Amino acid sequence: MSTDALAALSAGAPLEHFKVPLRELRDDDVAIDVRFCGVCHSDIHKARDEWGGAIFPMVPGHEIVGLVAAVGPAVTRFQPGQRVGVGCFVNCCNDCTQCARHMEPYCPRVVATYNAKDHDGAIAYGGYARAIVCRERFVFSMPTTLDMAASAPLLCAGITMWSPMTRLGLHKEPRRVGVVGLGGLGHMGVKLAKSLGCTVTVISRTPGKRDEALQRLGADRFLLSTDASAMATAAGSLDVVFDTVSAKKELDPLLDLLAVEGVFCTVGLPMQGVRYDFVPKQVIRRRLTLTGSSVGGTQETQEMLDYCGKHGITCDVEVIDGDYINTAFDRVVRSDVRYRFVIDVTTL
Ligand code: NAP
Ligand code: ZN
């Protein structure tokens, strides 16, 4: 079996129509007719081989929403016709401490949804495709109350912000949160932090995002990162800063925003080789914590989806046809999207 998809055939090559194999249904597999797939900046990093280790041909896509087409005999949670999602991972060792606590991204044998080799040696292909076959463990039930296209990016952008927020306890004790970079991840960070009761500051280099951040997304404050005096005035005013920036930036001005015992959490993952300096004295004097976070585990992903369903939280999306994908990639790199492209894969 095979399916129609969009693939990069070499690093940086425009994506083109391509057929990829689909495996026969195994006992614990769910076959999904994909309807929508979000375009994450990670798709661009990978298709352009900015992180190294790319496997071509590559079908990107890990914000996948569709309907169950068929299930294997051992599948218990899903049935044909059900609305489901697949995020960033499709397999794990099922045996380690991280798998036991449903923290699959940190399993040493975790398999990404695409640009990866599964344990049996098969190449994994992502969601810029009409269909996907995925193990039940990595399939999520999608809230049917939400717009289907606008819920797709919850599967990466949403959970990548939700996981560190809940790990840092913001759902129990709302705090003063900063979100650096108002893109796909950043705008979900604002929506989720606000819904948890946090006070939210957006730190952006794009003045045109000020009104949207404050009025549409509900942020409490907007800081232009290029305005040194505004940044200085805001020193020490935040408890947690989430950095979602996809490129190299100065770290010290961001650390300066943190109060004593503040936490700087990076989720943005610029290209290979990017290194950051920071002034140790700053970190010591205010006893800062530097941390990072990778997407999220399966259990917390389902919790986040259910939470978003209950509270009506979706992503701001621009739905595109498959043929628009190369323009969309360029526009994401220019930060010219509000705030996520989502491919209607029925156009493939
Ligand atoms: P995105 O939509 O492109 O957003 C990134 C934002 O960063 C932009 O909107 C822009 O915000 C800012 N930015 C971009 N280029 C910049 C530059 N040269 N200097 C300063 N700021 C810049 O990307 P995304 O899909 O949200 O992903 C963000 C990053 O997170 C990517 O590196 C992606 O690979 C990574 N990621 C990590 C995980 C994880 O598990 N940790 C999961 C998904 C994605 P402003 O215009 O507001 O400044
Ligand atoms: Zn992603």
Question: Which structure tokens are listed for 6?
Answer: 């969009």
How confident is residue 268, by pLDDT bands cut at 50, 70 and 90? Answer: very high
CA of 333 to the centre of ligand 1 (A): 9
pLDDT tens per residue, range 222-238: 999 999 999 999 999 99
CB 178 within 8 A of CB 241: yes
What pLDDT sits at residue 8? 98
Segment 314-328 mean pLDDT: 98
Q: What is the mean pLDDT of the chain?
A: 97
Q: Kindly identify the ligand whose nearest atom is closest to the C-alpha of 188.
A: 1
Name the closest-CA residue to atom 39, ligand 1: 294
The pLDDT value recorded for residue 278 is 85
Q: Whose CA is nearest to atom 17 of ligand 1?
A: 247
Give the model's pLDDT for residue 13: 96
Does 185 contact ligand 1 (Cβ within 6 A)? yes
Residue 42 alpha carbon, nearest atom of ligand 1: 34
Q: Using 50, 70 and 90 to split pLDDT, how confident is the model at 89?
A: very high
pLDDT (0 to 100) of residue 117: 97
pLDDT band, very low/low/confident/very high, at 274 (cuts 50, 70, 90): confident
Residue 260 Cα to ligand 2 midpoint, Å, equals 31
Q: Considering only CA atoms, which residue is closest to atom 4 of ligand 1?
A: 183
Q: What is the pLDDT of residue 292?
A: 97
pLDDT band at 272 (very low <50, low <70, confident <90, very high): confident
Percent of the chain scoring above 90 in pLDDT: 96
* Buried/exposed 165-174: b ≥16 CB within 10 Å, e otherwise: bbebebbeeb
* Ligand that lies nearest to the alpha carbon of residue 63, given by its number in the listed order: 2
